[in-house]
A = this chain, B = another copy of it.
Amino acid sequence: MRLFSQCQGPHNPVPRVSKPKILLQLDGDSHASSFDAVVAIDAGVDHLLSHATVRPENVLGLVHGCMFTRGPDDLRHTAIFVGGSDVEVAEANFQEVCKSFFGPIRCSVMLDGNGCNTTAAAAVLAAGKHVDITAVTALVLGGTGPVGQRVARLLAGNGAQVRIGSRRLERAEATCSELGKLTAVNREQLTPIATHDGIALDTALVGVQLVVSAGAAGAVMLPATNRAAAADLQVAIDLNAVPPAGIEGVEVTAKAKSMDGLIVHGAIGVGGTKMKIHKAAIRQLLQTNDAVLDAEEILAIGKRLN
């Protein structure tokens, strides 16, 4: 193991100059995301240390290298971004980062594998412009996936009644149980619901004012006929950016657009907000050395921007 120390003591007469801002990018993919890299640079990062193919067993050394090279006053100028297209790998790496800290000897860290947190936060903010989140009943299609789970927990955490939709009910139930363990979420506000066919979908949509589709690319989560039959629906947000649309008829660039009596947003339509949140989160990472930014904290950043 490397030797280390907090190197500059109070006896150092050199006037303090702010250290360069360093972001350690831990990415699980074969090539670290250029998207996350450009956003980091545009958020003011001076030096990006990008690492690809990062697995939990690689995390400790990389995090300790950041923790033990700057004194406590300067650790806020070093931060960690955990990304990559595989959200499960990113989550495992993120947990490992958090376990690597020694009490106050730590760096700020943000999780945004596949943009899951910034996307979910942007979707919830978009919805909140049209409905009262604290009183709404929402259906999250693809609610067991990484983005869907985050949309669900953010909605529920802000007071909504949330139906977590999945083709397989038992998966929806498992997700409700998991999310119910989070301190930010009241299990009572989550309901698992099956969405395996049109009849199930119609049932799932009864009393729902807000639907968010967070399914995998390539799947039509809500056909137009079922959408049209949803009498209570007011707002539909589709987070799929690749054709076909997850919510049939919603254009990817739609932004608070009226369509068949609904207000709809497409993936690119919420992308502007997502990007602003992402940049603001990176900036916040570099303000202190103790931020831990997961879904709730990233939504809070988004709320302050709005």
Residues of A within 8 A of B (CB): 1-7, 9, 19-20, 22, 24, 30-39, 41-42, 46-51, 53-54, 58, 61-66, 68-70, 78, 85, 114-115, 119, 122, 217, 239-242, 267-272, 274-276, 279
Task: Report Cα–Cα, A267/B4, bound state, in Å.
Answer: 7
Are A50 and B48 in contact (CB-based, < 8 A)?
Answer: no
Are B47 and A3 in contact (CB-based, < 8 A)?
Answer: no
A115 / chain B contacts, CB cutoff of 8 Å: 2-3
A242 / chain B contacts, CB cutoff of 8 Å: 1
Task: Report Cα–Cα, A58/B30, bound state, in Å.
Answer: 8
Task: Report Cα–Cα, A69/B267, bound state, in Å.
Answer: 14
Are B41 and A47 in contact (CB-based, < 8 A)?
Answer: yes
- Partner of A69 from B9, B24, B42, B70 at Cβ < 8 Å: B42
A122 / chain B contacts, CB cutoff of 8 Å: 3
- How many subunits of this chain does the assembly comprise? 3
A119 / chain B contacts, CB cutoff of 8 Å: 3
Are A268 and B5 in contact (CB-based, < 8 A)?
Answer: yes
Task: Report Cα–Cα, A304/B273, bound state, in Å.
Answer: 44
With both beta carbons as reference points, the residue of chain B lying nearest to A122 in the complex is identified as B3
With both beta carbons as reference points, the residue of chain B lying nearest to A59 in the complex is identified as B31
- Partner of A35 from B7, B69, B275 at Cβ < 8 Å: B69
Are B31 and A270 in contact (CB-based, < 8 A)?
Answer: no
- A7-B276, A42-B70, A49-B50 given. 17 additional CB < 8 A pairs? A1-B217, A3-B270, A9-B272, A19-B42, A22-B38, A22-B41, A24-B34, A30-B53, A31-B54, A31-B61, A33-B61, A33-B65, A35-B65, A35-B66, A38-B69, A41-B47, A61-B85
